[in-house]
Structure 1
Amino acid sequence: MLIFNNHFESRLNYLNYKLFLISEKNNLRLILILQKIAGNNLSSRLKSVQTIFCKNNNFLNSKDLFPISSKDKIFIALNLNLRFVFYNFDIFFFLKKNGLSFSFKLPFIYHKCFLMLCNFTVLPVIEAKLDRFSYGFRPFRNSKDCFLEIVNFISKKQSFSCILKANISFSNFNINWLTKYFPFNKNLLNFIFKDVNENFQINKNMIFFSTLFNFLLNELVRFKNYYLFLIRYKNNVLVFSNNYEYLNYLKFLFFKFLSSKDFNIKVSKQIYLNSSSFDPFYFLDWRFQKLKNLTISAEVSQNAFRYYKSNLKIFLKNSQNVEVSKFLTKLNHLILNWKINNNYSNSFFIQASKLDLYLSRLLWKWSKRRHPRRNNSWIYSKYWKSFGGVWKFFAIDFSNGNLVFLKSHNFKKTKRLYKLPRAFKVFNLENYQKLNLIWFKKSKFNFLNIYRSLWNKQKGICFNCQKPINYLSLDSVKIIRNSNSLNNALSELILIHTNCKL
């Protein structure tokens, strides 16, 4: 495991805090100096490599996974800084004990670590300048925060006559404008754009570039005033207004603002509600409606529901020859992610029951195709087992002999949702304890069974590094014993980060 202990974590938090304070004073010269110090600091470099190699990180593709040891990862971190990238190293070689070696190309490993390092140095600066109604790109603020913001607005607002939805394309933007105004080394930024354009297709989800896009759209908050309410999730913009003429004028300003940065804007839909705020509207994957009794109905849209069912079908179709326990583990992760992202929907239990029925039918067809010459009784006895009076799809993990059962889409619905306050400063060390408390309350419903018991027992804090478990996936945590005893009692089990090691 990569060594990243409390000392390095505290050092990184302090550097982020200093960067944040200087950014609030708009001192560009000091910002660039401190960014250079932070980028070349060992704490930042270790954190960058650790984040890239973390199991739950979705920037790594299967072709990027190599048998790289902890020493090799430390080697990458020691050679990672804001100057080394200018040298023309395309391939790294690692020597093994048997005398053999293997290599990997710069864009697939080192380049991602470098972009993550750049991202760590600019996030505190961008956070100090961002508007309070942008979500998706900012740390600790995800789709749930955006969902709650919309629900709070339509529950308090008496009426709104029209809604504007817009989608901003990131396929093209003005690099010259960005290098002129973005608080980062201009030569390094130009090098990054040149190198990335040769190896990748830029999109809004890439490391570091998501932060750049967020900076480009930051000034949209200036359009917000008494006549309208504006909220943004990544490149999707939602505007409520009571003034039709002002909304049309706002659309004109949108085009003018974005054209100056060479953005392409697409107004996906403009709705006129005829002075009624009880008509439903859609944003992202959600359907919102204010009912006659003034309660709010918010549920997963039918399009998003059908899209998830289609993904399940495609996943099963592409897993026909995969080992069953691995297939079932990946399927359970898909189900868990859907539950975490949708368990606050009003119609959650109805949709979850429909998905369980739909998935059971898909699994039966999957089993029949896998064993075309076997009869139904043989197939059912091989893949279904009675557990607690309920027949469940299962598989045997031959690596450890454990049984893996299919998880249900049903989930204990979140009774209360938590979000960070709009103006909450996540990089301010004075808010560190409050941030941990809010994140603990926000994430405690994302874990089940023994994971939830350990999460509550440890108050969301990793037993090893004493830092919060700031992830929403079980890939980021693991359960281990705290003693040499073979007893699996709950008192001897602890929850730690996947990349932590006692």
Structure 2
Amino acid sequence: MILPWFLSKVSDELKRYRMAPAWQVVMRLNPMIRGWANYHRHGVSSQTFSYVDHRLWHMLWRWAKRRHSNKPKRWIAQKYFGQQQGRKWVFFGTPPDGKTLFLVQANQTAIKRHAKIRSEANPYDPQHEQYFEKRQLERLKENRLWTSKLKLIWEKQQRRCPLCGEPFRDNDDWDLHHILYRTRGGGDESTNLVMLHPNCHRQYHAKTDSKEAGVYVK
């Protein structure tokens, strides 16, 4: 099972780092927790994340007690567990630069369910192009690897919507549009993508979908 495997891996890491300072433990565990939680946030419940956090806390408490078997519990709690943004009993460590590092929690990761594709949606039908663009955009906004590509598209357009000519403001929403529709062989390369205001995007599809798909944005 996935959950026992992950907890076993964390336990092995704590054994490897049994003599390391707390901040190194935090630096080692944080990427593991974030990676596991982000990977499984589509299929697990918030209760599962809370259970993982509960188990991790007990592992770290035992780790700290083994390090200081002759110290009272209050001393251990004050040395290794603190408060952060309303969270209590958060494991922490302080590296040489003096900036305290806190352990992340799995339940800080938002649960994100996969949205089912509409049964009538056809990826080869130009009339459904905008629907699949919207689904793709939701995934891209969560994918940090797309940040540089989106920034390139944004700057190429001089930070303006190419349809209305108005600039994108900080609080504006935007859509991603394929210049040459994917139904006509268009790809996801930056040269085939433009950022549009949602209303401009809807108006564009309303005009072109009834005529010919893949009309280039001027």
Name the TM tier (shorter chain). 0.5 to 0.7
CA positional deviation for 1:336: 0.5
**Structure 1 position 443, deviation (Å):** 4.8
Distance 1:310 1:395, change over 3 A: same
**1:200-220 Cα shifts (integer Å, max 9, x gaps):** xxxxxxxxxxxxxxxxxxxxx
Q: Distance in 2 between matches of 1:376 and 1:329?
A: 24
Counterpart Cα distance in 2 of 1:358 and 1:460? 34
Which residue of the other structure, out of 63, 70, 76, is the alignment partner of 1:373? 70
CA distance in 2, matches of 1:466, 1:360: 42
Tell me, in whole angstroms, the C-alpha distance in 1 between the residues paired with 2:95 and 2:133.
36
Say which SS state the counterpart of residue 64 (structure 2) adopts.
helix
The aligned residue for residue 325 of structure 1 is: 23
Residue 84 of structure 2 is aligned to residue 398 of structure 1: no
Residue 348 of structure 1 deviates from its aligned partner by 2.1
SS of residue matched to 1:386: strand
1:460/1:320 CA distance change after superposition, 3 Å: same
Describe the SS at the equivalent of 2:79: helix
Q: How many angstroms apart in 2 are the aligned matches of 1:467 and 1:314?
A: 44
Q: Distance in 2 between matches of 1:464 and 1:402?
A: 32
Residues 229-264 of structure 1, C-alpha deviations (whole Å, 9 max, x = no match): xxxxxxxxxxxxxxxxxxxxxxxxxxxxxxxxxxxx
AA partner of residue 380 (structure 1) = A
What is the CA–CA distance in structure 2 between the aligned matches of 1:402 and 1:439, rounded to whole Å?
38
1:85-484 alignment runs, 5 A limit: 303-345=1-43, 347-391=44-88, 392-399=90-97, 401-410=98-107, 411-417=109-115, 440-445=137-142, 460-462=146-148, 466=152
1:390: Cα distance to partner?
2.5
Contact 1:395–1:403 (CA<8 Å) still a contact in 2?
yes
Residue 387 of structure 1: CA displacement? Answer: 2.5
Report SS of the residue matched to 2:38.
Answer: helix
Give a deviation string over 1:285-311, Cα, whole Å, max 9, x none: xxxxxxxxxxxxxxxxxx121111111
Unaligned stretches of 5+ residues in structure 2: 118-122, 125-131, 155-169, 171-218
**Letter of the 2:147 counterpart:** I
- Cα distance, 1:417–1:388 mapped onto 2, change above 3 Å: same
Bigger RCO of structures 1 and 2 (CA < 8 A, at least 6 apart):
2
Q: Is the 8 A contact 1:414 1:445 kept in 2?
A: no
Q: 1:385 is matched by which residue type in structure 2?
A: G
CA RMSD in angstroms comes to 3.5
Question: Per the alignment, in what secondary structure is the counterpart of residue 305 of structure 1?
Answer: helix
Question: What is the deviation of 1:417?
Answer: 4.6
Cα 1:331–1:359 shift into 2, 3 Å = same
CA distance in 1: counterparts of 2:86 and 2:67, whole angstroms = 27
Question: What's the TM-score, normalizing by structure 1?
Answer: 0.25
> Would you say how many aligned residue pairs link Structure 1 and Structure 2?
143
Cα separation, partners in 2 of 1:444 and 1:415, compared to 1, 3 Å:
farther
Cα distance, 1:395 vs. partner? 1.3
Residues 443 and 329 (structure 1), Cα distance of their counterparts in 2 relative to 1, 3 Å cut? farther
CA distance in 2, matches of 1:418, 1:325: 42
Distance 1:338 1:305, change over 3 A: same
Please list the CA deviations of residues 382-408 of structure 1 after superposition, one character each: whole Å capped at 9, or x if unmatched: 111122443111111323x22211111
Q: Is the 8 A contact 1:332 1:407 kept in 2?
A: yes
How far apart are 1:364 and its partner, in Å? 0.3
State the 1:352 CA deviation.
0.9
Judge conservation of contact 1:352–1:409 (CA < 8 Å) in 2.
Answer: yes
The structure where strand makes up a greater share of residues is 1
Query: CA 1:324/1:440 → structure 2, altered by over 3 Å: closer, same or farther?
Result: farther
| Contact 2:49–2:106, Cα closer than 8 Å, also in 1 | yes
**Alpha-carbon distance, 1:464 to partner:** 10
SS of the aligned residue for 1:374 comes to coil
Task: Provide closer, same or farther for how the CA distance between residues 377 and 313 of structure 1 changes in structure 2, counting only shifts above 3 A.
Answer: same
8 Å CA contact retained: 1:342, 1:348:
no
Deviation at 1:462, TM superposition (A): 2.2
1:417–1:442 Cα contact (<8 Å) kept: no
Indicate the SS of the match to 2:111: coil
Query: Shift in Å at residue 330 of structure 1?
Result: 1.8
Residue type of the partner of 1:350? Q
